[in-house]
Structure 1
Amino acid sequence: MRELIVTERISLDGVMEAPGGESGYRNAGWTVKDIDFDPAAYELKGSEQEEAGALLLGRKSYEAFAPVWPEMEEFSGYNAMPRFVVSTTLTGDDKRWPATIVSSLDEVRALKNGELPGAPDFDGPLLVHGSATLVKALQERGLIDRYHLLVFPVLLGAGKRMFSEADLPAQHLVLEDHAHYSNGIQKLVYRVKK
């Protein structure tokens, strides 16, 4: 079975909305405002590209990334791997950044098990970036195996939160890796105990 890894930049209070400056959120760009750049804090992103076999995205994140990511050199690993988009409304992919449309969480489970008919073959984990609605749904269905978090030293108050607020049983985590950087960012890598 393939692992499913959620990788996010979050505030200390769990907000994940608009870290890079996407419009429409009052604190857009909070990962770069008043945070000194420390390249060591982003080494996790390079290692994820080497480890991952495919990207899994929600529709909104896919639509935001598709016009931008193909042109970004630092995302060459992501651009080369298969992409899957979980959506019940998309009828086709963006030809600039082709993807396979997956219509349900049952199909995500089949993809994890290597049993989704017609899916491109790949080795390595499925990696989820952004995709707030999808991440909550995956958490609620118990489909997440690991969390790769960069926790920023900021409290944002309102905003899209990463974790589900559904009445779920406790999900215990095992800390596999951690680091603290000069700019106050913390790396936390947790495995979900199954």
Structure 2
Amino acid sequence: MKLTVHTFVSLDGVIQGPGAPEEDPSDGFTRGGWLVPFDPEHWGRVVDSWFARLDAFLLGRKTFELMRSYWPDVTDPDDAVAAVYRTHPKYVLSSTLTDPGWAGSTVLSGDLVTEVGRLKEQSGGELQVHGSATLIRSLHEAGLVDTYRMLQFPVVVGQGKRLFTQPGAAAGLEITAAETLPGGIVALEAEVVRRGEPEVGAFALSSDGREVIR
């Protein structure tokens, strides 16, 4: 399976607690709920398109417990996201959780690289990560992410967990899809095409006074 990361991100790279103040107040984060003022009518179809490609979920423990406390209670037959959570496999990476307590869920307690590597070797379409800030960063550092899909909102949160840690692993990405939505929201899809140190260069002046790239 292909490992794809899906996240809401602010202009300054924050992915923590987008949906509510109490969603993730860890590390003193007090600005949760920063995407709520943006009308989901404008970006909800993008999220629906993400879930339409899903074969299985990969979640960190905290995000799994948050989803478990909400989605099983959504009984609206027209809610496409609730249906996906109800009918698709959910894998949760945790060294402390023993009983997932949610039908269709499996706890993976081993080494991250080994466990995720086994899932990626399975046939199928997409193994999707949603939320799970700590897990996303660990997967990136381990070189396991194939694709990033993001909705970037025009807000500077100013605190909170970022999508990528600094210092951290470098990678080269190719933007394969980009769309500007009403309200200044940008939908992006980026494929990882290179891992390791980034390509670099320098601007310089040639002997005839022209600017060149070296």
Q: TM-score, normalised by structure 2?
A: 0.80
Deviations 1:33-52 (A, max 9, x none): 3x3x1524222211122111
Amino acid at match of 2:19: G
Partner secondary structure for residue 187 of structure 2: strand
Cα distance in 2 for partners of 1:167, 1:15 equals 16
1:28 maps to 2:32? yes
Residue 108 of structure 2 aligns with which residue? 102
Deviations 1:91-111 (A, max 9, x none): 11023x541111221111111
Measured after TM superposition, the shift of residue 123 of structure 1 is 2.7
Superposed, which structure 2 residues align to 1:1-194 within 5 Å?
A: 2-23=1-22, 24=25, 25-33=29-37, 35=38, 37=39, 39-72=41-74, 73-75=79-81, 76-95=83-102, 97-103=103-109, 104-105=111-112, 106-114=114-122, 123-168=124-169, 170-194=170-194
Cα distance in 2 for partners of 1:58, 1:113 equals 20
Amino acid at match of 1:113: E
Deviations 1:1-60 (A, max 9, x none): x11000000101111111110413411111013x3x152422221112211100000001
Task: Determine if contact 2:151/2:188 at 8 Å carries over to the other structure.
Answer: yes
Residues 99 and 166 of structure 1: CA distance in aligned 2, closer, same or farther (over 3 Å)? farther
Deviations 1:124-148 (A, max 9, x none): 2001011111101100011000000
Deviations 1:53-84 (A, max 9, x none): 00000001001110101233241123210000
Identify which of structures 1 and 2 has the higher relative contact order when contacts are C-alpha pairs closer than 8 Å and 6+ apart. 1
Cα distance in 1 for partners of 2:190, 2:43 equals 17
Cα distance in 1 for partners of 2:168, 2:57 equals 28
Cα distance in 2 for partners of 1:93, 1:38 equals 30
Aligned length: 182
Task: Determine if contact 2:21/2:30 at 8 Å carries over to the other structure.
Answer: no
Task: Determine if contact 1:38/1:182 at 8 Å carries over to the other structure.
Answer: no
Partner secondary structure for residue 193 of structure 1: strand
Task: Determine if contact 2:9/2:152 at 8 Å carries over to the other structure.
Answer: yes
Amino acid at match of 2:34: W
Partner secondary structure for residue 53 of structure 1: strand
Task: Determine if contact 2:4/2:145 at 8 Å carries over to the other structure.
Answer: yes
Task: Determine if contact 2:177/2:190 at 8 Å carries over to the other structure.
Answer: yes
Q: What is the identity percentage for the equivalent residue pairs of Structure 1 and Structure 2? A: 36
Residues 98 and 22 of structure 1: CA distance in aligned 2, closer, same or farther (over 3 Å)? farther
Cα distance in 2 for partners of 1:184, 1:53 equals 30
Q: Which has the larger radius of gyration?
A: 2
Cα distance in 1 for partners of 2:51, 2:188 equals 17
Cα distance in 2 for partners of 1:13, 1:108 equals 29
